[in-house]
Amino acid sequence: MSTAINSQTDQAFLEELEKAFSNSNKDFARAYYLFATAKLNETYNSQEIYARYPILSQEETFRKLKALYDQNPQNEETKRLFTSVLGTYIGAQLAELSDEFQNLKNKLKVDVSGLGLKLPDGQPLAELLYEDIPEWLKKIAEKPTRQELYDRMAKAYTATLSQRFIDLFRVENKMLADLGYPDVIEFYAKTSGHNLKRLGENGKKLVDETEALYTELMSALYHKMTGLDFAKDATRADISFTLHGKPKGQSDAMREINQKFPQSKLVPLARQTFDGLGLEFSKVAQEVNFINKDTYEREVVDKTDKAPQNGNPLRRILLDIANREGKRSRAYVYPAAVPSEIYLSVKPEGGLDDYSAFFHESGHALHFAYENSKLSFALALMGNNTTTESYAYLLQNLFMNRHWLVNMAGLSEEQAIQAVEKRALEDLYMLRRYASKMQFELALFEGVNEPGYSLDDKGAAYASLLSRGCGFRYDAEGWTRDVDAGFYVADYFTAWSLEAQLREYLCQHFGNPDCNGEDWYANPKAGEFLKALWADGNIAQQDLSKRLGYNDPTDVGPLLRLMRYNLNKSH
């Protein structure tokens, strides 16, 4: 089949493809909301939606778009469309292997007999689903029991799923080579816009420069939680309990702080904060609770379809805070159409974690709500998630802002310092973990399609890098449980760096030096600055960094400065 396309045909093809992506996204968002949140649909049928848009999964579509991308890989819209279609194409080719893997993983059970685990009614447990074990690791205070449970989980995965994961890994990378992209690192760097090798170098820099600070603080926390020696005893089995568990015989120092964040005050605190920034959250975020689909169609679908695209476009976040049976508990955002139909669902429970998750999702929602309605779908919603994640982290990280915690959330100075230091250490752990994962995945994919490539030494490299980065001893076999598809790790690692650049900029330009600029959130000019950024859609990470004056989204300097400030340490 010929892939030579004249410019007029190219334009018509791209317009048809983008329209299909836009309309299918709207259908998926609405179907998911009605199923998972509003509970007005009993089933969620993605295949039915895909069937409405055959252009998205046809091989001819992929071949045409590949030709356009290969001719001009610098065109941002074509690159975003190609990356999405490629994901769909590869996903279809791997569907059988992938479905088998996921089905086995979802059904995998682990023998826990003899460990003394019990249900709330006191009934002893003989087995657990693999996917349920992380929650148990978080709450088991006895080190031997926790370690044995982890070891059994790891053994069950290795026996059943590790080789299948490796098979998928090899097939997917060979597919990329067969399509003309044998250098996987180079391919993902081009399509994502990430400088992957520099990210690896900066990850190593971050681990090196925070080594003393991290080891000091995590050693103290580990000993407090377990009574054991961090350097000698800490393993991957202990991570969740160390960061989130409740040790026996000790009072929960965070309980009183969490009580300052009751379920009833979640949305009012968000409104007060975001309205103070000039973001008009009270106006843009409309509380909804649809009693039937007719009302939903009239209030949502009809209004979106009739929304003006020029002049004063409809900016609307559909805020669903109803506590209905079966509603998904975790907060999420799904932009059906920007800026007129953005779903923000939350099932308020209260506590710091619940609040910070809501503020994170609100960052996404406000970003989408203030996008320019004239943007193409590709520029508004496609591309990697780095910049929108940085906006989400910016609002989430108000929970590491002493000034905001005292003056808006009502904590005492002492409580604010305690809350910030706890959350900052958790963040430092995650940063070092993702920095180490970035280094490992670069080593994993280096020369993956070259003759003589071997996985034999990859487990040892994984254990060495992650153990050094996290301080907890990692097992070599665990690498097959810890690899993100398509270097997704780069999105998150870069988003942390980019958010720190944005936060430092806001503190310096819109905050008072007397409080290290932490009162930036109370300055409506900061809100105007954010709205100007958001209007341009899902801009590339390089563009955002350049606008902030850093010119490098991988620069971890601001991140290190803010981390040390939040941990109240100078070294």
pLDDT for position 251: 57
| Burial of 544 from C-beta contacts in 10 A (0-12 / 13-18 / 19+) | buried
Residue in the structure block whose two tokens are 């609405």 = 30
pLDDT band at 245 (very low <50, low <70, confident <90, very high): confident
Residues 6+ positions from 353 with CB-CB distance below 8 Å? none
- Each as own residue / partner, the long-range contacts of residues 176-182 (CB below 8 Å, 24 or more positions apart, any chain) are 176/90, 176/449, 177/449, 179/66, 180/70, 182/449, 182/450
What CA–CA distance (Å, rounded) separates 146 from 235? 10
Higher-pLDDT residue of 485, 266: 266
pLDDT at 4 over 80: no
> What is the C-alpha R_g of the chain?
24
Residues in the chain: 571
- Please write the tens of the pLDDT for every residue from 402-427: 999 999 999 999 999 999 998 999 99
Closest CA to 407 of 278, 510, 521, 282: 521
Place of tokens 């420069």: 209
Query: Averaged over 69-89, what is the pLDDT?
Result: 90
Note the pLDDT of residue 244: 86
* Range with top average pLDDT, 79-88, 101-110, 483-492, 511-520: 511-520
Residue pLDDT, tens place only, 320-349: 999 888 888 778 999 999 999 999 999 888
227 and 248 in contact (C-beta within 8 Å)? no
* Amino acid of residue 470: C
Taking the CA atoms of 251, 256, 258 and 259 in sequence, report the sign of the dihedral they define.
positive
State pTM to two decimals. Answer: 0.88
Q: Can you give the pLDDT at residue 488?
A: 86
CB 472 within 8 A of CB 236: yes
Place of tokens 């958790």: 426
The β-bridge relationship of strands 127-129 and 109-111 is antiparallel
Strands 285-287 and 317-320: parallel
Query: Dmax over Cα atoms in the chain, in whole Å?
Result: 74
| Mean pLDDT of the region 118-145 | 91
Helix boundaries (H) for 342-453: 352-369, 377-381, 386-396, 402-407, 413-445
DSSP per-residue string spanning 94-157: THHHHHHHHHHHHH-EEE-TTS--B-TTSPBPSEEEGGGHHHHHHH---HHHHHHHHHHHHHHH
CB neighbour list of residue 27: distance below 8 Å, 6 or more residues apart: 49, 52
Give the mean pLDDT of 122-150: 93
First CA to last CA across the chain, in angstroms?
Answer: 62
Over residues 346-401, the pLDDT tens digits come to: 988 888 888 999 999 999 999 999 999 999 999 999 998 999 999 999 999 999 99
How far is 259 from 255, CA to CA, in rounded Å? 6
Residues 170-184: tens digit of each pLDDT: 999 999 999 999 999
* Banded model confidence at residue 570, pLDDT cuts 50, 70, 90: very low
What's residue 571's pLDDT? 38
What mean pLDDT value characterizes the chain?
92
Tokens standing for 509? 């330009």
CA 205/CA 469 separation, integer angstroms:
11
